[in-house]
Structure 1
Amino acid sequence: MSLTVEKISAVTLRVSNMKASVQFYRDVLGMELLYGGETAGFSSLRAKHAESAILNLEEANTVTQWGRLIFYVADVDEVWRHLKERGFDPPQPQNASWGERYFHILDPDGHELSFACRLGQRHEHGELQRATPREGARSH
């Protein structure tokens, strides 16, 4: 019998500032805080769907770079506008040859996040921007 992974249960990111990270994932991206919080050393959050993988945040002095965390959303352009309205400066969403519309942004610790949806769900490109509000912009 061959091994089969049934699902990804959780992804853990090391973060340098738990308060900023919890505020970003909870208040900006709308994830539900399941455990921990702004003053905890370890926190868990989940996307809208209860069966989605859990995102763990672990505070550490050293934050390492790694691949990318991809969030599927109903409307990529709406997420892009949502981030712009909150003072972030993500690159324009783009259509990919593999059938997705997406854009990338960096979270407060520099982890690359991708927001994507299948082409046809809702349908215009750039350099990665760290997820910190622009000077003078409203932030959460």
Structure 2
Amino acid sequence: MVGTRLEHVRANVADLKAAVEWYTTVLGFEVEAYWPPDVPNYAHFKAQGGATFAVMEADGRGGRFNFTADDPDALWEQVREAAVVVEPLFDTPYGTRKFTIADPDGNELGFVRNG
């Protein structure tokens, strides 16, 4: 896709605490942040460059791949009728504009413009 860059990869997990324990003790990853702050179901790890890797406690398995998009509105118009919509285009409370679709195998593909 023109104007997109892979920025974030997320694996869905059954148990956040167990997953974080495994990634930190087995692979030596360091947690950078948890979200949401009050009852976290998501953690992302420090990155040395490239895409951010995260885990999220969620029903179902599969992955989530987040891309930055130069023009998420135009891309949304292009794909919304041809894909399974997970989250329609919206403005987030943390200042981004995004939408999420699913591929035929249920992997989530998020497209976001920061700022």
Is the shorter-chain TM-score for this pair beyond 0.5, marking a shared fold?
no
Q: Which has the higher strand share?
A: 2
Using the size of structure 2 for normalisation, the TM-score is 0.44
Q: Which has the larger radius of gyration?
A: 1
